[in-house]
């Protein structure tokens, strides 16, 4: 059984396999409550199991190599790392069952983790879900610019501070884009009041679905 990697490195391999796409630490923290530490990143990179690079806002993005996928597959039959929480013991028990299924059906791990995992959907009725629904009701097409003032009108009754927290978090995760209106001199008082400050700049427009 392979035991050549540290516990954080082994957990990082599993996270990247489950995610099945290039992913940053902010996304891993949001969806799985974990992150790839510098030491684990360097360990995996030195073993040629992952590649990584800096992306927007200096976030570090990680992705498995073909060798990394093969090494992650070995975890299915490996004993759990020592001194981990009970949830990880259950996780490795699940992997053992999955290993048996893959062996019986002559399939690869990539057949199972073929689609990227986008994390859990927003909770029904949550502020995030309401915000997304408001945007899509107002936008003609995904990626269209929509006035933030119009979206806030759809969030009547939601505390302004909570709205701002959700907007900033989604923008940081790059799930939305917040932009300043180039025609600032023509903005209404409502548009100015609805703006959100990010990096010292007022943002008046929201986009969801832009590449």
Domain boundaries, the chain: 7-112, 127-207
**What per-residue confidence (pLDDT) applies to 17?**
95
Report how far residue 58's alpha carbon sits from residue 70's, in angstroms, rounded to the nearest whole number: 29
Percent of the chain with pLDDT over 70: 96
**58: number of Cβ within 10 Å:** 7
Report how far residue 130's alpha carbon sits from residue 96's, in angstroms, rounded to the nearest whole number: 40
Report how far residue 129's alpha carbon sits from residue 178's, in angstroms, rounded to the nearest whole number: 17
Q: What is the dihedral of CA 13, 16, 22, 27, to 10 degrees?
A: -120
pLDDT at 2 exceeding the cut of 80: no
Cα–Cα nearest to 52, from 38, 33, 71: 38
Higher pLDDT, 198 or 210: 198
**What per-residue confidence (pLDDT) applies to 99?**
94
**What per-residue confidence (pLDDT) applies to 194?**
95
Report how far residue 9's alpha carbon sits from residue 21's, in angstroms, rounded to the nearest whole number: 17
Mean pLDDT, range 150-164, rounded to an integer: 94
Fold of 7-112: Arc Repressor Mutant, subunit A (1.10.10)
């Amino acid at each position: 059984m392979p035991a050549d990697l540290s516990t954080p490195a082994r957990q990082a391999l599993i996270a990247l396999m489950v995610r099945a796409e290039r992913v940053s630490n902010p996304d891993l923290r949001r969806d799985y409550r974990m992150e790839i530490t510098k030491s684990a990143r360097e360990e995996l990179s030195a073993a040629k199991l992952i590649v990584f690079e800096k992306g927007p806002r200096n976030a570090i993005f990680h992705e498995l190599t073909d060798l990394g996928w093969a090494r992650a597959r070995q975890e299915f039959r490996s004993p759990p790392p020592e001194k981990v929480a009970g949830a990880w013991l259950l996780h490795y028990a699940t992997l053992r069952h999955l290993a048996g299924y893959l062996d019986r059906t002559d399939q690869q791990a990539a057949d199972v983790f073929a689609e990227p995992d986008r994390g859990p959907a927003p909770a029904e009725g949550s502020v995030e879900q309401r915000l997304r629904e408001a945007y899509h009701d107002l936008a003609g097409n995904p990626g269209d610019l929509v006035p933030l003032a119009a979206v806030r009108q759809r969030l009547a009754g939601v505390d302004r501070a909570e709205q701002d927290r959700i907007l900033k978090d989604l923008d940081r995760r790059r799930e939305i884009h917040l932009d300043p209106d180039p025609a600032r001199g023509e903005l209404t008082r409502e548009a100015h009041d609805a703006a959100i400050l990010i990096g010292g700049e007022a943002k008046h427009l929201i986009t969801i679905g832009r590449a």
